[in-house]
Chains A and B, each alone.
Chain A
Amino acid sequence: MSADPRRADIDRRVLEWMRESRWSYSEKRFEELALELFAFQFEHCEIYRRFCDGRSQTPSNVKTWRQIPAVPTSALKEVELRCFPASDTVHRFRTSGTSSDVRGTLYLDTLELYEASLLPTFRRFMFPEFLLPEDRAAIQVLTPSPIEQPDSSLSHMFGVVLDALGEQGSDFAVENGELLFDRVLTVLVESAASEMPITLCGTAFAFVHLIDHMSQRGVLIGLPPASRIMETGGFKGRSREVPRTELYAELKRVLGIPAERIVNQYGMTELGSQFYDSVICGPSEPRRKLGPPWARVVIVDPETGHEAATGQVGSIVVVDLANTGSVLALRTGDLGRAILDGFEVIGREPGADARGCSIGADEILDRSSP
C-alpha cells in the first residue's frame, strides 16, 4: 500500500471494488474514483501535470472521466511517469522490443492493484463457470516464467494466474528460451485421453510455433470440448504474420478447439487491467472486448479529440483505475470501434511501436523454432 495517505485511500477503495464477488459497472463510482485519481496524479506527477496544463485540462475543468487527458503509451519510452518517489519503486515492467529498440518502463510501488485486477478479470472471462474460490483448471502457459523474465508483465500475470487458478501440473512451458514442445504435447495427449479439459495461454506467435511443430510431425489432437485458449499480442514484425482467422482455424485443426473457445486478450505493459474477448462469458453475443468495471475504454476521433460516433473507427483510450501509481488515462497505439458495451481492436497504425510483451517472448521462441 502506498505511503501517501491520499493515494492509500484511493488504492483501498479501488481494491475493494476489485475484490467484490459481483461486478457492478457503476458509472458514478467509476467517475468519482477516476476524477479523484486524476486530481491526485495531476498533483503528484509533475510531467503529467505539465502535460495537462499544456492542454488546459486540469482537475478544475475536467468534469467527467472521459475528459481526463490521456498520455500516449509510446511515450513511456522517453519519460518516467510515476506518482511516488523513485526510491519507493518495488518493481519495473518493461515493454517488449528488440535489442535495438528503446523499451518503455512502467514503475510500480506496489503490485497489489495489478494482481488484484488481473485475477478476477481472467477468471471472469476465461472461467465464468467457476463458482467457488477453490475452483482450479489445468493450465499450460507458452511463455517464460516470471523468474526467467521478471520485467515482463505478461509473465508476471501468468505467474499470478497459475498460482491462483492452476491445478497441479499447471506450468510454464518455456524454459531457457525454448518452448518445450515434447512436454506440451505430452500434456495435451494426456488431456485428450483423460477427457480432462485444458487451458492453453500464450502469445499468438507462440501458438504459431506450436502449430508449425505439430504440423511438421503430423500430430493432431482432439482436446476435450471444455478446453480453451487465451492468446495475446500481435506479430509485430515477426518473420511470419498469421491473420487471426487463419490462426484460429489452424488451432481448431491441430487441437480441436473452436474459435468460440479462443479468447484474445488485449493488454499492455502500461496497463494494470486487461480486456478479453467475450466469447466464453457471452457465447451467444457478438465477439467484442470486455473489461472489468474499474477499467473503461473510450474510442476517440483522432481528428477532433472527441469521443467517436458509434461504430466510427478511432483511437483506443483506456482509463484504468488500477494505474494509481502512474497515469490512469492512456492513449494506445491501436485503433478500435465500439461494439455494444465493449469494443473491437481494428489494428495498429502504420509505424506504431510494438505493444505488449509478446515480442520479448517471441524473440526467444523464434530462436528455438524448428
Chain B
Amino acid sequence: MTSDEIAENFSRLRDAGERLKRRPIGEVLEVLGAVLERWRDPNSVWRRDLEDRLPAATGFTAPMIGEGLKRALGDWTSDALRELAIRELGPIDPPGSASDRRISGFDTTAVLLAGSIPMPSLLALIAPLAVRSPVLAKAASRDPLTPHLVAQSIAEADAELGRCIRVVDFTAANEDCTRALLAADCICATGSDATIATVQSQVRPPRRLVVDGHRLSIAAVVPPESAERRIELAERLAVDIALWDQLGCLSPIAVFAVDPEPAHAAALAEAIAAALANAEENWPRGSIDASTAHEIAQQRAEAELRRAAGRAVEIHASDATAWTVIVEDGPEPRPAPLHRFIRIVPVPDPRRLLEAIHPFAAHLAAVAIEGFGEETTGLAHALANLGASRVCAPGSLQSPPLDWRHAGRGVLAPLARFSDIEAIA
C-alpha cells in the first residue's frame, strides 16, 4: 500500500459519495439494517466465515468467538439501527418544509481501527455510511479480517453502497500512508493514547476528528450472602471477564466487592474462580505471547509474595496462565495483564468505592453494578459523574446496546454535519 493508492481510493470514494448523498437516509439505513441482520444471523455466510477465520487472525478460540458474537449482536437489529438514527439524528427523511434540518455526511471519512474484537469494527464501518459519508478504513493489525468481511457484506447487499467503502492494510509505522489517510474530511481513530496523540497532532480543524483512546471497565458488587446467588453472580461476572479474553474496553479489570466484611470478597472470589474454570472449559482462552504470559506469572508471584509478607491476599489460578483471580487487601491500582486476570478488591462502602475508582476515572468506560438496593441510582449517577459512559448489570458488559454512547458521545451524530434551515419569509 502506498500513499498514492490511498489518495486514489479517496478519489473513487468521493465519486461514489456524490451518488450516496442523493439517496434518502432511510433507504441507506434500510440496507445497513439488512446487513446487520445478516451479521446477527449465526447461519449467515458472513457470520460463519468470520467465526471460521477469526481464530487464526486474532488468536481467540472459536467457541469464545461464537459466544461473544452471539451475546454482542443479539440486539443489534435493523430496528435498533433505525431507532439509533432517530435518537441521534432526528426524524428520518421528514417531508420537506420551509423549516428543516439537513443531515449530511462528510465527503470522506477515514476510520483507523484498533484491537481484535469484531463488533467495534462492524459499527465503525456502518456509522459513517449511515450518515451518508463514504468511508476508507485502515484495518487493525490484530484483526485484519473483520473490516474486509464487513465491506464485502455491504457490497453484496447494495453494490452502490459497497462502492462507498474501502478497507486498506498497512502498518502503523507507514507514516506516508497514515498521513494520506488523515487527509480525510472526518477521521475516526481508535487506539492507544500514543496513537491518538499522533493523530491529533496531524489533524487540524475544520476537519472533524473523533477519537477513542484507551479505556477500561470495572464491576462493583455487594457480595451476596447466599451461596446460590453468589455463584449465579460469579457466573455472570465470569462471562464479562472471559469474553474477548478481557481485551475490550468493556472487559472488567477489577471487581470491587463492596462490603465491610472482607471475607465476603474472598467468598465471591472463590466463586468467580470456579466460574472462570468453567468458562475455560466452555470458551477456552486464546493464545498469548511469551511477554503476556510472563506478565501474568510475574503478577501472580508478586501477589504470592505479598501474601507471604502477611497481607490478606488470596490467589486462585489455573495451572498455566488461563485464568487468575487475586483478592487484594487494598484498593491501590495494580497492573492488569488482562487475558482473564481479575483482581477482587474489597472496599467497605460505596464512598470508598468511588475514592478507589477516582485515580483512573478518566479512562472509565463502563461499570457493572449490583446489590446496592436503594443506593443503586445514586451510585449510578456518581459513577456517571466520574466519567463512566455506561452503567449496567453484571453479565451484560459484553452486550452493549447499539445506541450506547461510547466514550460519552453518540454513535452517528459525531460523524454527521447538521444544518438547521430556519423558516424564512
Contacts and interface: CB of A to CB of B under 8 A. Distances in A.
Interface in B261-305: 290-298, 301-302, 304-305
Contact of A72 (B301, B307, B320, B337): B301
Interface string A346-366: 010111100000000000000
Interface residues of B, number: 22
Interface string A51-67: 10111000000000000
A304 B293 CA distance: 9
Contacts of B359: none
A315 interface: yes
Interface in B311-345: 320-321, 335, 337
B297 A54 contact: no
A75 B309 CA distance: 11
A51 to B, nearest CB: 4
A302 B296 contact: yes
B296 A72 contact: no
A54 B291 contact: no
Interface string A302-344: 1111000000111100000000000000010101000000000
A313 B304 contact: no
B424 interface: no
A10 interface: no
Contact of B297 (A71, A305, A351): A305
Which one of A72, A302, A335, A352 has the highest number of Cβ atoms from chain B below 10 Å of its Cβ? Answer: A302
A363 B294 CA distance: 28
A264 B131 CA distance: 56
A50 interface: yes
Interface in B323-372: 335, 337
A78 B306 contact: yes
Interface string A158-181: 000000000000000000000000
Contacts, number: 78
A139 to B, nearest CB: 36
B310 to A, nearest CB: 8
Contact of B335 (A314, A335, A351): A351
Interface string A73-86: 01100110000000
Interface string A31-57: 000000000000000011111011100
Contact of B304 (A49, A51, A335, A347): A51
B98 interface: no
B302 A314 contact: no
Contacts of B293: 301-303
A335 B294 contact: yes
Contacts of A315: 294, 297-298
Nearest to A79: B309
B337 to A, nearest CB: 8
B308 interface: yes
A329 to B, nearest CB: 11
B301 A302 contact: no
A267 to B, nearest CB: 19
Given A314-B290, A335-B290, A349-B291, A303 B321 contact: yes
A127 B298 CA distance: 36
A77 B397 CA distance: 34
Nearest to B306: A78
B307 A351 contact: no
A144 B55 CA distance: 52
Contacts of B301: 70-72, 75, 331
A303 B297 CA distance: 8
Interface in A278-308: 301-305
B311 to A, nearest CB: 8
A75 B307 CA distance: 11
A300 to B, nearest CB: 8
Contact of A47 (B294, B308, B335): B308
Given A75-B301, A302-B293, A349-B298, A54 B320 contact: no
A78 B298 contact: no
Given A47-B308, A51-B305, A79-B305, A74 B298 contact: yes
A70 B294 CA distance: 13
A302 B294 contact: yes
B305 A47 contact: yes
Contact of B298 (A48, A79, A331): A331
Contacts of A72: 298, 301-302, 305
Contacts of A301: 293
Given A302-B321, A331-B298, A333-B298, A350 B304 contact: no
Contact of A351 (B295, B302, B320): B295
A72 B334 CA distance: 15
A78 B330 CA distance: 13
Which one of B298, B302, B320, B321 has the highest number of Cβ atoms from chain A below 10 Å of its Cβ? Answer: B298
A51 B295 contact: no
B280 to A, nearest CB: 14
Nearest to B336: A351
Nearest to A314: B290
A49 B310 CA distance: 12
B320 A75 contact: no
A42 to B, nearest CB: 12
A282 to B, nearest CB: 27
A44 to B, nearest CB: 14
B295 A50 contact: no
Contacts of B291: 335, 347, 349-350
A150 B178 CA distance: 48
A49 B305 CA distance: 10
A305 B304 CA distance: 15
A352 B297 CA distance: 12
B302 A75 contact: yes
B295 A350 contact: yes
21 contacts: A47-B308, A51-B305, A53-B308, A54-B308, A71-B301, A71-B305, A72-B302, A72-B305, A75-B301, A75-B302, A75-B305, A78-B306, A78-B309, A301-B293, A302-B294, A302-B296, A302-B298, A331-B298, A349-B291, A349-B294, A351-B335
Given A72-B305, A302-B293, A302-B321, 12 more contacts: A49-B308, A50-B307, A51-B305, A54-B307, A74-B298, A75-B306, A78-B305, A303-B293, A331-B297, A331-B301, A335-B291, A335-B294
